[in-house]
Structure 1
């Protein structure tokens, strides 16, 4: 694999760390600024909304410059946002810093996916995308726990300062290692927007919302589920999340490898298995060992869908994949927000802390249905195209004089 993929993975590691580390530092941040935990939770919500709206906005702004230069600008934005968070004198300034950093998230992964795919041969593209996303998955295993530990011992501002430093490393890596790939000729914002009229692109994004949403329906409420149902101590939640992160790393690599060989079958297997495992989590959540194993499987099966879905969007968007790719990253965050909301509804309705697992299973099953529908439509269109190509051309009848 090209060294340029390492630079992209480092940037992804920093972005993944800053996205999730705030969850473990909310009490410290709330205490320092004198705000409530729910108010501090706006730092999570604001980041997610920034990703959703920032993905199309930043991608549109970057249509007139090279992808390498845009990636460098996005890392600069990421660095500025984290520095602003680290130095924020009041809560509102930190919230602005979080939003500024989040604006780089969707566009970085969207444009980075396109660059990663262009750096390798066509049959290795899903693997290259998975290599970049490895930075995000490793962040959940290493970056988030270490960032939380540093924040709790040395102060949360130090954590965000270190994350900004990771951004600097990523920026230098991109500047030194990513080649200046030529921009496709004749591709402008209207061409990028036109790709969104493709039903297959929209179906892939819908699969992303439902499939990964299924994962976050369970993971969002993993702390109360594991402490109040499985019987783990509160201190055990950290290493359970590390197990989840390890599953994500493994699933990402396996998904990238097999998506290059058989993309749709990979989606069928991972989504169907994910739906089954999420449903079983309702039962295994009552046993510590079974719960820990299930958490690893959810991480692995959930992230096994990421490289094939991202590649599916790139393939179906044809000559204008950048905006569609970035929007698909926003779709992940939309799925996270939707599933967390639905999971909260079933808990509030009195169905218990394991009820979000059923929500996740239904969402994953819905993604599987969409995958089957997408493949069926593709086969129909392919058959129709073949029939038209094979149809004999009627010769005009000669005119007799």
Structure 2
């Protein structure tokens, strides 16, 4: 019975994460409609995406720790309630500034729920099954990215912009009701002091982990950010085929999440060590065969699987460096991944403007080389710590 209850808890957490990521990513598909509706430029409309990500990056260092002593069910309901309110305001407002506020305020609470979801999922079963449980929650992350963009775009074009915002509100409302009815009260037995949580930042292993995560995420999302542009200008796909390829990448991402749980449970260090080389091989194939339509579909499939595995690796890499402060570590993870996405997209954009769209891959390879430079010293340091702990 306990196993079934834990599985239900993980599924509800996955749904909640999906609702939050759906809110974050879903607007990407309707930015042109938002610009037209509110009579602003497309770059101004883009603020609802970039400021959301910035809010996540800033709050990831602070808010998860502040809420770490509260009853976890109460925190989950509070954050989902804030997201529901933000989406409802977004659906009815006619003022772009109000829309921006309704988006950015919930964004500050994004790391609170997501870090909590990863922490609770990891603690829901045995230590050996922690990576598998976290991988299931990551399916919600991928699904939010995969389904949020096309579904919101479909709803907005078929009905109205307001209905697309209401779709975001509906998903988070379902997660809220499921949490209210089926998640037990989860008081925190022993609250970690802020000093204990911040102490993890005094370790070199933590900073090497943060650097590796920034570079790994930069390698994936720096190139992925320009995938549609790459498929249009290099592969010469039609727009409907580009949409299909984006779906393929996302579906493969979900498969990657499922594979990652088993890999990190059974072969964690080997998986992390080999990851940059596997992704690098895909990027080399992308560079060489990017203009060929059929090989490109297979490359996107493999890339999508690796992207899903990479998300799990980055979460594991930071949390395993600070196991005594899981909420704070997961907050660090969310801040690091958002920084990686921002820096990666900026640097890879420079490769496009300075060279060509095809050369965006070189930016991804640069980040992979930097990630290797952070991963291997971290592994060496971790091994020495384990030896000294065992000796003690």
TM-score bucket of the superposed structures, by smaller chain: over 0.9
- CA distance in 2 between counterparts of 1:141 and 1:384 reads 44
- CA distance in 2 between counterparts of 1:69 and 1:290 reads 49
Partner of 1:352: 356
Gaps of 5+ in 1: 390-401
- CA distance in 2 between counterparts of 1:172 and 1:205 reads 35
Partner of 1:227: 232
- Deviations 1:219-270 (Å, cap 9, x if unpaired)? 1111221111101112322211111101110111111111011211111222
Distance change in 2, residues 1:90/1:364 (3 Å) = same
Q: Which of 343, 350, 364 does residue 368 from structure 2 map onto?
A: 364
- CA distance in 2 between counterparts of 1:172 and 1:197 reads 41
1:193-272 correspondence runs (5 A): 193-272=198-277
Question: Is residue 67–residue 183 contact of structure 1 (8 Å, CA) maintained in 2?
Answer: yes
Q: Which of 96, 107, 112 does residue 117 from structure 2 map onto?
A: 112
Q: Are positions 1:92 and 2:97 aligned together? A: yes
1:99-178 correspondence runs (5 A): 99-178=104-183
Partner of 1:48: 53
Distance change in 2, residues 1:338/1:91 (3 Å) = same
Partner of 1:399: none
- Deviations 1:83-115 (Å, cap 9, x if unpaired)? 222222211111111112312222211111111
Q: Relative to structure 2, which stretch is displaced further, 79-88 or 223-232?
A: 79-88
- CA distance in 2 between counterparts of 1:278 and 1:101 reads 35
Partner of 2:379: 375
- CA distance in 2 between counterparts of 1:186 and 1:169 reads 30
Tell me the CA shift for residue 186 of structure 1. Answer: 4.6
Question: Is residue 21–residue 147 contact of structure 1 (8 Å, CA) maintained in 2?
Answer: yes
Gaps of 5+ in 2: 1-5
Q: Are positions 1:314 and 2:319 aligned together? A: yes
- CA distance in 2 between counterparts of 1:187 and 1:323 reads 10
- CA distance in 2 between counterparts of 1:271 and 1:70 reads 36
- The two structures have a TM-score, normalised by structure 1, of 0.92
Question: Is residue 80–residue 172 contact of structure 2 (8 Å, CA) maintained in 1?
Answer: yes
Partner of 1:56, secondary structure, is coil
Q: Are positions 1:286 and 2:291 aligned together? A: yes
- CA distance in 2 between counterparts of 1:267 and 1:103 reads 30
Partner of 1:316, secondary structure, is coil
Partner of 2:28: 23
- CA distance in 2 between counterparts of 1:69 and 1:198 reads 32
- CA distance in 2 between counterparts of 1:201 and 1:178 reads 32
Distance change in 2, residues 1:372/1:96 (3 Å) = same
Distance change in 2, residues 1:327/1:381 (3 Å) = closer
- CA distance in 2 between counterparts of 1:386 and 1:360 reads 38
- CA distance in 1 between counterparts of 2:183 and 2:370 reads 38
User: Number of residue pairs matched?
Assistant: 387
- The two structures have a TM-score, normalised by structure 2, of 0.94
Q: Are positions 1:36 and 2:41 aligned together? A: yes
Question: Is residue 134–residue 252 contact of structure 1 (8 Å, CA) maintained in 2?
Answer: yes
Distance change in 2, residues 1:171/1:199 (3 Å) = farther
Partner of 1:323: 328
Distance change in 2, residues 1:188/1:176 (3 Å) = farther
- Deviations 1:158-182 (Å, cap 9, x if unpaired)? 1111111111111122223333334
Distance change in 2, residues 1:236/1:135 (3 Å) = same
- CA distance in 1 between counterparts of 2:382 and 2:65 reads 29
Partner of 2:61, secondary structure, is helix
Question: Is residue 82–residue 97 contact of structure 1 (8 Å, CA) maintained in 2?
Answer: yes
Question: Is residue 125–residue 311 contact of structure 1 (8 Å, CA) maintained in 2?
Answer: no
- CA distance in 1 between counterparts of 2:213 and 2:227 reads 21
- Please, what is the CA RMSD of the aligned residues? 1.7
